[in-house]
Structures are given as C-alpha cells and as structure tokens.
Amino acid sequence: MTKPLFFQAEITLARYLRLLIQINYPANKMRFVSRLLVCFLLMVSVQASASVLYTWQMTKPSATIHRSWGSLLITDAAFRDGGASYSVRTSCNQDPCSFSDPSSPILRFEFGANERPYGLYIDPIAGHGLMETWADTTFEISFSITGRRITDLSLYLWNWDTNMLMENGNIITLSSDWPGCYMHCAGGSGFFKEVNIPEPATLPLVGLALVGLVFQLRRRPQRNHPLMTHVIR
C-alpha cells in the first residue's frame, strides 16, 4: 500500500534530520551542508504536496453492515474549491495499473466494513485499485465541503473485487470478494469528517528550527564531565 507523497516526504525528512545529528561537524562540513540542502528541498516538497484528510464516521449500522471505516484524502486545491467531481474509466489487468492521473483531486480513498483490515483502496495517481480483468474499471465521485464535513457525497466504484454505490452518506450497496462484505452488503450511513493535522505552511518552519538546533549542537564543543576527568587523572 503506497503512502501519499505528503507522508513520504515527512518520513524522509525525519530520517535526514537524524542523519544530520550523527555527522561530525566541521570534519564533514560538505556532507553536513549537502544533507542540510536535502532537508530544505524536502520541506519544500512537503508544503507543495499539501492535502486534507477526512475519516469516515459511521452514524447508523444495518443488518449487513455492523461497523465501517474509511478515509478520503483530497488535494488542497479541491479543499479550497469547496468540493470536487471526478471520474475515471480505464482498462487494466494488474495492480498497480500503468494508468496514472496526476491531476486527480482524489489522492486516496479507503473503505471497509465488518472485518478489519479488509477493504478497498483507491489511488488514481499511483494506479492502485483500478484493476478489472473482465471489463473496464469505473470510479466516480463528487462531493461538496460544508464546514468540516464532506456533504452531498455521490460515489460509484466497479473494479475487479468490489462494487460500491453511496449516495449522500448512505451505503446503497457494497459487494466484494474480501471478508466482511462478501457478495453483498447494504444499508448503513455516515459522513466523512476532517482530521486535525498541522497546517502545511508550519511544517517548513518547524523543520528549519530543527535544522538550526542541529547546527548549534554540531558547533558546541564537547566537554568532559568533571567526574570523568577525575577518574582519568
């Protein structure tokens, strides 16, 4: 399962900051400066790949759907526009597909019911979840954003293992080959709610502060502890 670029950049940035602390400065000044530059570029990429995450909040179960979970990750542009409408139809017999749509306002869509960790995973940019061996895969979604909620959600998915239809937060049908909703589930309702995460613009500031701290630690002369000095003498 491929993580969104937003999270990949954060993880890589943390790794490089850890490596910076391990460098002996100024003995390896060039290595320190090069990795400092990499950290800066990663901070820029984190800001550029800003996204907004929503998680599924189930409000009403049904006879066949006792519990459900999911997430919807959209671009910052879709958030600013107050919603989006997206449709993709492709033919593919492998996962991930060679298909890729970098302009997709949907970065990730996940949904499951009854039995974790089984469920569907759609990533139009990486081509995940768009495989269909007998016909074309269809993924259609449209929604508005009201406050911190996704509203007027309309979703249809047909791929190799799942058929799902949702209207205004109501699950009309959810049939799949994975446990939990094998063959057919229906009913149940809920909504997607925005998750509280740090503002993208604050991440570079935090990163720069950490880099500055690392730089000061590298410049600080090492001093022997008084007790250690006494023992050595």
Same domain, yes or no, for 27 and 57?
no
Say if strands 68-75 and 51-60 run parallel, antiparallel, or are unpaired.
Answer: antiparallel
Same domain, yes or no, for 57 and 15?
no
Q: Which residues contact 210 (CB under 8 A, 6 or more apart)?
A: 17
Same domain, yes or no, for 17 and 96?
no
Q: How far is CA 50 from the centre of its chain?
A: 10
Bond prior to 96 in cis (omega within 30° of 0): yes
Q: Are 153 and 198 in contact (CB under 8 A)?
A: no
Q: Decide if 146 is inside a domain.
A: yes
Same domain, yes or no, for 177 and 206?
no
Residue 202 phi/psi, 5-degree rounding, is -80, -20
Q: Quick one: 116 exposed, middle or buried, by C-beta within 10 A (0-12, 13-18, 19+)?
A: exposed
Same domain, yes or no, for 168 and 150?
yes
Q: Decide if 42 is inside a domain.
A: yes
> From first to last of its 233 residues, what are the pLDDT tens digits of the chain?
334 444 444 455 555 555 555 555 555 656 655 655 555 555 544 444 579 999 999 999 999 999 999 999 999 999 999 999 999 998 888 888 888 899 999 999 999 999 888 889 999 998 898 887 777 889 999 999 999 999 999 999 999 889 999 999 999 999 998 888 887 899 999 999 999 765 555 555 555 555 565 556 555 555 554 544 444 44
Same domain, yes or no, for 99 and 190?
yes
d(CA 180, CA 116): 8
Q: Decide if 228 is inside a domain.
A: no
3-state secondary structure of 30: helix
Same domain, yes or no, for 60 and 91?
yes
Q: What is the DSSP letter of 28?
A: T
Same domain, yes or no, for 124 and 63?
yes
Q: Decide if 56 is inside a domain.
A: yes
Q: How many Cα neighbours within 13 Å face the side chain of 127? A: 13
Q: Decide if 112 is inside a domain.
A: yes
Query: How much is the pLDDT for 14?
Result: 56
Domain count across the chain: 2
Same domain, yes or no, for 118 and 36?
no
d(CA 17, CA 23): 10
Q: Decide if 230 is inside a domain.
A: no
d(CA 212, CA 62): 54
Same domain, yes or no, for 177 and 205?
no
Domain enclosing residue 184, as ranges: 51-194
Q: Decide if 226 is inside a domain.
A: no
Query: How much is the pLDDT for 23?
Result: 52
Same domain, yes or no, for 187 and 210?
no
Q: What is the pTM of this model?
A: 0.66
Same domain, yes or no, for 153 and 212?
no
Q: Decide if 233 is inside a domain.
A: no
Q: Which residues contact 38 (CB under 8 A, 6 or more apart)?
A: 16
